[in-house]
A and B are shown apart, each in its own frame.
Chain A
Amino acid sequence: MEKESKSKNRREFIQSGARLTLALALGSVSGLALSKVVKDDYVWQIDPFECTQCGRCATDCVMTPSAVKCVHAYDLCGYCDLCGGYFKPDANQLSTAAENQLCPTAAIERKFIEEPYFEYIINEDLCIGCAKCVEGCTSFGNGSLHLQIIHDICLNCNECSIARVCPSDAIKRVPASEAYNVKGDFSKKPES
Chain B
Amino acid sequence: MKKIKYILYLLIFAFYLLPSHLSAQQQRFPKPEFESGYEQPSTVTPEPRALSLEYFDVLVLLAVLSLVTWLILKKRSRQGVLWVSIFTLIYFGFYRNGCICPIGAIQNVTLSFADPAYAISLTALLFFLFPLVFTLFFGRTFCAGACPLGAIQDLIIIKPISLPKWLNKTLGLIPYIYLSLAVLFAATGTDFIICRYDPFVGIFRMDAKFLMVVLGISFLLVGMFVARPYCRFFCPYSVLLSWMSRFSKRHLTITPSKCIQCKLCSNSCPFDAIDYPTDEKEVVKSGLGPKRFITYALLIPLWIAAGVFVGERSHTFLSKANNDVYLAELLISNPEIKNDPDNIDVQTFLASGKTMETLVEEAGGIRQKFYYGSMIAGGFIGLVIGVTLLNTVVFRKRQDYVPQKGNCLSCGRCMDYCPVEE
Q: Which residues of A contact B (CB under 8 A)?
A: 15-16, 18-19, 22-23, 26, 29-30, 32-34, 36-43, 49, 52, 54-56, 62-64, 71-80, 113-114, 117, 119, 121, 124, 138-139, 141-143, 148, 150-152, 154-159, 161, 164-165, 167-168, 173, 176, 179-180, 182-183, 189-191
A158 touching B30, Cβ below 8 Å: no
Looking at the assembled complex, report how far the CB atom of A87 sits from the nearest CB atom of chain B, in whole angstroms: 14
A33 touching B51, Cβ below 8 Å: no
B247 at the interface (CB under 8 A from A): yes
Partner among A38, A52, A155, A190 whose Cβ is within 8 Å of the Cβ of B348: A52
B41 touching A151, Cβ below 8 Å: no
Partner among B29, B46, B248 whose Cβ is within 8 Å of the Cβ of A152: B46
B20 touching A139, Cβ below 8 Å: yes
A159 touching B41, Cβ below 8 Å: no
B122 at the interface (CB under 8 A from A): yes
B120 touching A158, Cβ below 8 Å: no
A158 touching B121, Cβ below 8 Å: no
Q: Which residues of A contact B246 (CB under 8 A)?
A: 18
B323 at the interface (CB under 8 A from A): yes
Looking at the assembled complex, report how far the CB atom of A177 sits from the nearest CB atom of chain B, in whole angstroms: 8
Q: Which residues of A contact B31 (CB under 8 A)?
A: 75-79
B45 touching A148, Cβ below 8 Å: yes
A36 touching B51, Cβ below 8 Å: no
Looking at the assembled complex, report how far the CB atom of A164 sits from the nearest CB atom of chain B, in whole angstroms: 6
A159 touching B196, Cβ below 8 Å: yes
**Which of B2-10, B62-70, B101-109, B412-420 lies at the interface?**
B101-109
**Which of B32-40, B75-83, B226-234, B299-307 lies at the interface?**
B32-40
B21 touching A191, Cβ below 8 Å: yes
In B291-343, the 8 Å CB interface with A consists of 323
Partner among B41, B54, B113, B121 whose Cβ is within 8 Å of the Cβ of A32: B113
Q: Which residues of B contact A139 (CB under 8 A)?
A: 20
A-B contact pairs, 16 of them (CB 8 A): A19-B247, A19-B249, A36-B118, A36-B120, A41-B51, A41-B121, A49-B21, A52-B351, A74-B40, A74-B43, A78-B27, A78-B30, A141-B28, A152-B48, A158-B107, A179-B48
A34 touching B207, Cβ below 8 Å: no
Looking at the assembled complex, report how far the CB atom of A165 sits from the nearest CB atom of chain B, in whole angstroms: 8
**Total cross-chain contacts (CB, 8 A):** 177
Partner among A23, A148, A158 whose Cβ is within 8 Å of the Cβ of B104: A158
B28 touching A74, Cβ below 8 Å: no
Partner among B27, B36, B109, B351 whose Cβ is within 8 Å of the Cβ of A33: B109
Known pairs A19-B247, A38-B122, A117-B34; A80 contacts B352 (CB<8 A): no
Known pairs A22-B136, A141-B28, A152-B46; A113 contacts B36 (CB<8 A): yes
Which A residue sits closest to B25, measured CB to CB? A190
Q: Which residues of B contact A43 (CB under 8 A)?
A: 48
B133 at the interface (CB under 8 A from A): yes
Q: Which residues of B contact A164 (CB under 8 A)?
A: 191, 323
Looking at the assembled complex, report how far the CB atom of A24 sits from the nearest CB atom of chain B, in whole angstroms: 11
Give the docked Cα–Cα distance between A150 and B20 (Å). 25
A42 touching B136, Cβ below 8 Å: no
Chain B 41-59 per-residue mask, 1 if CB under 8 angstroms from chain A, else 0: 1111111110100100000
Partner among A121, A138, A159 whose Cβ is within 8 Å of the Cβ of B192: A159
A121 touching B99, Cβ below 8 Å: no
Q: Which residues of A contact B36 (CB under 8 A)?
A: 113-114
B404 at the interface (CB under 8 A from A): no
Give the docked Cα–Cα distance between A115 and B29 (Å). 15
Looking at the assembled complex, report how far the CB atom of B418 sits from the nearest CB atom of chain A, in whole angstroms: 23
A152 touching B27, Cβ below 8 Å: no
Q: Which residues of B contact A173 (CB under 8 A)?
A: 119
